[in-house]
Chains A and B, each alone.
Chain A
Amino acid sequence: MTHDASPHPAPPAGSQPDPRSDAPLRRIAVGFGGDERSRDAVRLGAALARAAGARLDIVLIVTQDDPFTAVYPPVGSISGIVADQGAAWLREAEELVPADVDVTALVRRGASVAEGLIAAAEERGADLLVTGSGVGAGRITSHPAVEALVHSSPIPLALAPAGYTGTDGVTDVFAAVSGTSGRHQVVDAATDWADQLDAELVHVTLRAGESAPHPDAGAETRADTETDAAEQTPRAVVAVGRTLAQAVRRVDWPQGALLLMGSSRLAGRRRLFLGTVAARILSRLPIPMIVMPRHEHETDHTLETDHIAHAPGDAVTAPPAGTAR
């Protein structure tokens, strides 16, 4: 497989064709707030946009006061000043994006950061929303907006781990699957993603609490890698640990990998919901995680069981073409 692992070299002329109209990633929105975690998100958004040939929108949401918050003595609105400051932050954010990525910076107003980001992503016709998070350090999220988004985003949500650099590009797409059932919609999505990103597809199963086959499983658990020789079948990784967090640590995640995961069954239709299992995985995951929203035509064979880190997801459908243009 071919991928470009060097930081930001200038691409060969004309090497960035528009993605095909059925490609899963044609437009990527990054939620940016001016903090360090937001810079992680920009780096991830840029790496994905670059690998996918997608357009990048960096969005900064200026929140408004709740109308029931009285400020006294009246001082008028400060959102203009915040927007000025936000525009300055956005200029810094744009500098993180390689020159060959088509990037637009936007300031939008929202009742909350999460609502504003969803509205902006829908307005721009984005196929993916990228945010930073405090993940990778045992914590799940550090920002209330991320907390809200993982339970409400209508489009796939990518969470950049703390300190993400993006210098390795995108080399592998891991699809989180359960070992018990056969085919999952998240697998279809991951296949399309790997195809577009020119990355290797890997099926990963994470399990907790299963001591068999080793009697002292706590010490003996390991990441078993079974590589299928057949070309069509992707590599499969099964990681078992005493806890899910331990199983996550057992996997040798490549620097340039992504993990795709379905939403919990609690998710409303066409909404995304990070289940407790996914949340536990996320807390230890050193690579970006992408959570897929539930599809309307959800079927029953994609149950999220209590010890299998899989939840139903759906194939990413092509976006309505050219919403923003």
Chain B
Amino acid sequence: MTQQTSTDPRSGPGGAVDGTGRDTDHSKGLSRGAIGALGAVVIGVSTIAPAYTLSGALGPTASAVGEHLPAVLIVGFIPMMLVALGYRELNRAMPDSGTTFTWASKAFGPWIGWMGSWCLLAATILVLSNLAGIAVDFFYLALSQLAGVEQIAELTRNVPVNILTCLVFMAAAAWISCRGMEATKTVQYVLVSFQVLVLVWFAVAAFGHVADGTAFDATRLSWEWFNPLGVSSFSAFAAGISLSVFIYWGWDVVLTMNEESRGTTTTPGRAAVLTILVVVGLYTLVTLGTLAYAGVSTGEHGLGNPEIQGNVFAALSGPVMGPFAILISLAVLSSSASSLQSTMLSPARTMLAMGHYGALSEKYARISPKHQTPAYATIVAVLIASVFYAVMRVVSENVLWDTITTLGMMVCFYYGVTALACVWYFRHEATRSVREFLSKLAAPLVGGVLLLIFFFQTAWDSMDPAYGSGSEIGGVGLVFILGVLIFVLGVAAMLYQHRRRPEFFRRRFETSEHLTV
């Protein structure tokens, strides 16, 4: 704490006013209250948003790996965990503005930092559009269930209505974000408990139908479902894994919580383990229930039916839960709405950091004085996500499915890059002890390499026009075109920034240069 000495008023005019910031006094203020292990688990589960994730990703994953869904869900967690260990170390070393952007810039220089950050931004903007899309589906589904009029649910298939509703949702989320409104403890606890309860109910009801013979395609549980080696091909396995990376996306928030402000140092570790137990347990239960009830056929409610794969719960909640199907709709709706909120903060803050460090125009570094939020960056992020959604909704046969698949690829890439950044950043200190070797080098290295392998495999496979939902442009799969387009745009944007702001690409990147408040 620097207690600055103010000038005596008798010393005359101008004595105390100094434009250089010499008079600016900074010190530690109050820190926000500590969070216990339970609170951390709630935050973790809320960020993973299991109801939304399962609804969006269950179908595409099932279409890739069939009955081996539970195996892939469990195995898919491994690279995620390995990378997250590296994340945690980086976050400890560079807690301020700890982003892929600053970390990768520091480890590999500004060029890779810029591209890694671009992929992170692309992934978050993709997920924003997917979240809003899922929210639109369930909004009309919930309305139709409330009113008892089935036609309302069909409104979501009306492209103009769908796009318009989505834009309204995005605008609302952006407004809340710019106002700096925050989810509070009570809200998070209520939303998370509701989600978990409803999902368990769904799984139990599905098993109930299997038991009394009213299931759509009752399938006997089999240990083979848990065998990852039983997946038909490596391509299918890679596709399944990159989707399951998306499914667990969010879990690492528990590890990267600022330990200092949370009171204890043991909480994040314990909370991370607890969170993963809760989530893997929940996913396994729901997956088993869904598989047992619906099977993987291409029949009306089968998980292999491309008509329902983009949004499994929308199709299955009615047959499984009967009159209580509205609860699933509400759970998915609230989980995607709160996820929309927490995800919106991320690209805005990443762009804020990029603007602040000169990697983007200074406009992105603008902070709205009244609410202390990066208003300009938020609006740009929402505009891009909205335009992206609108275009995709028109172009793609199954926008939700294709965005999820592309998203899985993007997440694999930026996670992979971040993991390798961790390895490079800690390469000298990693040999100090076995523990440090494992957490700073071995784990992130293996995890990062695995994710990049899955990334390249998925990218290669996605050239096939039949990949994903089967959308294509000129005989090339839409997912591949999306992925390549995002990369090419990223390189173009980077080269443009290099011309406009060469200083950033020349600088030795350092963090921890902020005022410590």
Contact = CB atoms under 8 A, between A and B. Distances in A.
Interface of A: 10-11, 13-14, 16-18, 33-35, 38, 53, 55, 61-85, 87, 89-91, 94-95, 97, 99-111, 115-116, 119-120, 143
A107 B97 contact: no
Contacts of B516: 80, 83
B14 interface: yes
A143 B369 CA distance: 11
A74 B26 contact: no
A94 B183 contact: no
Given A68-B43, A91-B21, A110 B29 contact: yes
Given A18-B10, A38-B369, A76-B96, 8 more contacts: A63-B372, A67-B261, A68-B188, A77-B258, A83-B26, A94-B17, A103-B6, A108-B29
Given A74-B252, A119-B29, A62 B343 contact: no
B418 to A, nearest CB: 10
Given A87-B21, A94-B19, A81 B29 contact: no
B46 interface: yes
Given A38-B369, A91-B21, A108-B29, A78 B188 contact: no
A71 B185 CA distance: 14
B32 interface: yes
B13 A75 contact: no
Given A78-B374, A94-B19, A103-B23, A55 B6 contact: yes
A38 B183 CA distance: 27
A73 B185 contact: no
6 contacts: A67-B43, A68-B182, A69-B342, A71-B253, A75-B98, A80-B516
Interface in B68-116: 87, 91, 94-100, 102
B241 to A, nearest CB: 19
A125 to B, nearest CB: 13
Interface stretch (B280-288, B318-326, B346-354, B470-478): B346-354
B147 interface: no
Nearest to B258: A77
Interface in B29-72: 29-35, 39, 42-43, 46-47
A34 to B, nearest CB: 3
B419 interface: no
Contacts of A111: 30, 32-33
Interface residues of B, number: 83
Contacts of B345: 69, 71-72, 75
Given A67-B33, A68-B184, A76-B98, A99 B13 contact: yes
Nearest to A142: B370
B39 A78 contact: no
B499 interface: no
A16 B10 contact: yes
Q: For the complex, would chain B's binding face be called helix, strand, loop or mixed by DSSP majority?
A: loop
A13 B372 CA distance: 41
Contacts of A79: 517
Nearest to A35: B369
A89 B123 CA distance: 34
A15 to B, nearest CB: 10
Given A35-B369, A63-B372, A72-B250, A87 B515 contact: yes
Contacts of A68: 35, 39, 42-43, 182-185, 187-188
Contacts of A18: 9-10
Contacts of A99: 13-14, 17
A11 B12 CA distance: 9
Interface of B: 4, 6-10, 12-21, 23-35, 39, 42-43, 46-47, 87, 91, 94-100, 102, 120, 123-124, 180, 182-185, 187-188, 249-250, 252-253, 256-258, 261-262, 339, 342-343, 345-346, 349-350, 352-353, 356, 365, 367, 369-370, 372, 374, 514-517
Contacts, number: 222
B253 A104 contact: no
Contact of A75 (B23, B94, B188, B353): B353
Contacts of A85: 365, 367
A16 B353 CA distance: 44
A60 B8 CA distance: 22
A77 B261 CA distance: 11
B12 to A, nearest CB: 7
B517 A76 contact: no
A74 B98 contact: yes
Q: Which of B17, B26, B32, B184 has the most CB of A within 10 A?
A: B17
Given A102-B6, A108-B517, A74 B253 contact: yes
A77 B15 contact: no
B23 A105 contact: yes
Output the residue of A11, A33, A78, A115 with the most chain B CB within 10 A. Answer: A78
A126 B123 CA distance: 48
B349 A75 contact: yes
Contacts of B517: 62, 79-80, 83, 107-109
Contacts of A67: 32-35, 39, 43, 257, 261-262
A80 B97 contact: yes
A265 B69 CA distance: 65
Contacts of B262: 67
Contacts of B24: 87, 90-91, 105-107
Counting from the closest, the 3 A-B pairs by CB-CB distance are A80-B514, A76-B98, A109-B29
Residue among A11, A34, A69, A143 having the largest count of chain B Cβ atoms under 10 Å: A69
Given A66-B184, A99-B13, A77 B372 contact: no
B99 A76 contact: yes
B308 to A, nearest CB: 27
Given A87-B21, A95-B19, A63 B180 contact: yes
A87 B513 CA distance: 14
Contacts of A104: 4, 6, 16, 23, 25
B182 A66 contact: yes
Given A67-B33, A80-B514, A94 B370 contact: no
B255 to A, nearest CB: 9
Contacts of B30: 109-111, 115-116, 119
A71 B99 CA distance: 12
A143 B10 CA distance: 36
A291 B91 CA distance: 45
A94 B23 contact: yes
A112 to B, nearest CB: 10
Contacts of B370: 33, 35, 143
